[in-house]
Amino acid sequence: MRIASQRNYRRSMALKLGSQASLTELFDAAIKRFGRIDIAINNVGKMLKKPFTEVTEVEFDEMDVVNNKVAFFFISESMKKVADGGRIIMLASSLLAAYTPFYTPYQGTKAASKEMMEKNITVNCVAPGPMDTPFLYAQETPEAVEFFKSSALQHRLTDIKDIVPIINFLATDGGWITGQVIFANGGLAAN
C-alpha cells in the first residue's frame, strides 16, 4: 500500500506541473526563497510498459504531459531563470539506447529535444539504467528484473548512489560538458 500511495503522490505532483504556469510558479518560488537559481534538475518521469497497440489515449496523454510537456516547459523556464554559468540537468532513461519490447511509448516521450542555451548554461541529460526503486518494480516482473541485473555490471540494478556523483559533477566541475546524454547503466545498453 505504501508504494501505491507514493506512486499516486508522485503522479499527482507531476500532473500539477503539467502546465506552463505551474512551472513558472515553481521557478518563481525558488527565486523568491533562494534569491537565484544556479542548478535546475528535472527528475519527473512516468513509465508505461505495455504493447504499443494496447496503450490507451488516456495513458498516452498522461505520460506525454509528464515526460514531454513538463520537460519542455522546465527547460523553457530554466532558460529564462537559471543564472549565468548555471546548470540544467534532465534525467532521462537508458531505455533511449536499449530498445526493448513494450517500452516504445515511454522511450518516445523521454526523447524530448535539447536546446543549446545562451548565458554559458550547460544542458545535459543523465540516463540511468533500470533503477532499484519502486518506479521499476511497479512495471516489471521478477524475471525482467533478474534479466536487467544479469545484463549489467556487477549483476545488479542501477542504484541512486551510481547517479548522484554524475549529477554532482555536471552541476559543479562539468562546465565544459553540454548537449550530452550520459548513459549510466552498468553496460546494459552497450553495443
Active site residues: 106
Angle at 128 between CA 92 and CA 164, to 5 degrees: 105
Alpha helices (H) along the chain: 2-16, 20-34, 57-64, 70-81, 104-110, 134-137, 142-150, 160-171
Q: For 171-177, which contacts have Cβ atoms below 8 Å and span 24 or more sequence positions?
A: 171/39, 171/41, 171/87, 171/89, 174/87, 174/122, 174/124, 175/85, 175/87, 175/122, 177/122, 177/124
